[in-house]
Amino acid sequence: MWILVVEDEASMGELLRQGLEEQNHVVALAADGLEALHAARTSNFDAIVLDVMIPGVDGVEVTRRLRAAKHQAPIIMLTARDAPADIVRGLDAGADDYLTKPFSLKVLLARLRAITRRAARPAAAALQVADLVLDPASREVSRAGHKINLTATEFRVLEFLMRRAGRAASRSAIIDAVWGFEKDVESNTVDVFIKLLRAKIDNPPHRKLIHTMRGYGYILREDE
């Protein structure tokens, strides 16, 4: 699954990212409510893990705005507050589940499985552009039937581009999706990883799939 984690405590955010990625999920991080709203409105996440007490717009208001805008991604709220009134407030805003800190990663993973089943969203299907295939579940990538070995970051960059196949992605959008909204990553870092991907995916005799949008970013598409 592609999961948005909204957590203002950097150490907690990284722990969640690491734990979820070890279970073959792709994770984007946001550190406050405005970043969360921007991320959810510009990307199609399978689930959102949302801390209630975040700077700016709090988690309850983020949920309320997303639901008002018809965003249907399942939401699990994280909070240190366990009073019934707080739980009811979050659920009434549109959250699908509520998890009180501290919690076990195993419990979070089980809750994520449960809310995505209830949401009746189809299981993550393999992504394909031309003869390039990426399976989010098995984390396998192949081209023309030949397996391609990618690092974790290369995989995240490629998955983001394949989910947006045919649509240009800016360097800043790639950074937000792959490294997280709170990370200070230079745009030329994206260029480095694109170069690495091209060496593995677009090398001859294969037709070029990753194209540069000069002055903007990249697009993955099959040329006619």
Domain count, the chain: 2
Residue 87 has a pLDDT of: 80
pLDDT higher than 70, residue 224: no
pLDDT higher than 80, residue 47: yes
Confidence class of residue 190 from pLDDT cuts 50, 70 and 90?
A: very high
Taking Cα atoms as reference points, which of 108, 99, 94 lies closest to residue 62?
94
Question: Is there a single domain that holds both residue 100 and residue 55?
Answer: yes
Which of residues 118, 146, 166 is at a domain's end? 118
What is the C-alpha separation between 223 and 207, in angstroms, rounded? 8
Tokens of 74: 């399942």
What is the C-alpha separation between 170 and 186, in angstroms, rounded? 13
| Mean pLDDT calculated for residue range 198-213 | 91
pLDDT higher than 90, residue 164: no
Question: Is there a single domain that holds both residue 80 and residue 145?
Answer: no
Q: Do the beta carbons of residue 45 and residue 91 sit within 8 Å? A: no
Specify the CATH number for the domain of residue 190. Answer: 1.10.10.10
- Model pLDDT for residues 62-71, shown as the tens digit of each residue: 999 999 988 8
Walk across the sheet containing 210-213 and list its strands: 169-170, 217-220, 210-213
pLDDT higher than 70, residue 154: yes
- Per the listing, tokens 């970013």 go with 217
pLDDT higher than 90, residue 91: no
> What is the domain extent for residue 6?
2-118
* Better-scored residue on pLDDT, 184 or 224: 184
- The tally of CA atoms less than 13 A away on the side-chain side of residue 215 is 0
Residue 66 has a pLDDT of: 93
DSSP H/E element including 67:
helix 59-68
Question: Is there a single domain that holds both residue 7 and residue 107?
Answer: yes
Question: Is there a single domain that holds both residue 106 and residue 195?
Answer: no
Which of residues 50, 84, 118 is at a domain's end? 118
Amino acid (one-letter) located at 18: Q
| Mean pLDDT calculated for residue range 175-201 | 84
Question: Is there a single domain that holds both residue 133 and residue 212?
Answer: yes
| Mean pLDDT calculated for residue range 43-58 | 90
pLDDT higher than 90, residue 153: no
| Mean pLDDT calculated for residue range 8-34 | 89
pLDDT higher than 90, residue 198: yes
pLDDT higher than 90, residue 183: no
Residue 44 has a pLDDT of: 77
Question: Is there a single domain that holds both residue 102 and residue 171?
Answer: no
| Mean pLDDT calculated for residue range 21-30 | 86
List C-alpha distances in Å: 128 to 96, 136, 164. 31, 11, 11
Question: Is there a single domain that holds both residue 101 and residue 138?
Answer: no
Residue 1 has a pLDDT of: 79
| Mean pLDDT calculated for residue range 18-44 | 87
Residue 208 has a pLDDT of: 92
Question: Is there a single domain that holds both residue 174 and residue 215?
Answer: yes
Question: Is there a single domain that holds both residue 156 and residue 95?
Answer: no
Question: Is there a single domain that holds both residue 106 and residue 175?
Answer: no
Residue 195 has a pLDDT of: 94
Residue 145 has a pLDDT of: 92
Confidence class of residue 148 from pLDDT cuts 50, 70 and 90?
A: very high
Question: Is there a single domain that holds both residue 156 and residue 90?
Answer: no
Specify the CATH number for the domain of residue 33. Answer: 3.40.50.2300
Question: Is there a single domain that holds both residue 101 and residue 10?
Answer: yes
Which of residues 57, 84, 118 is at a domain's end? 118
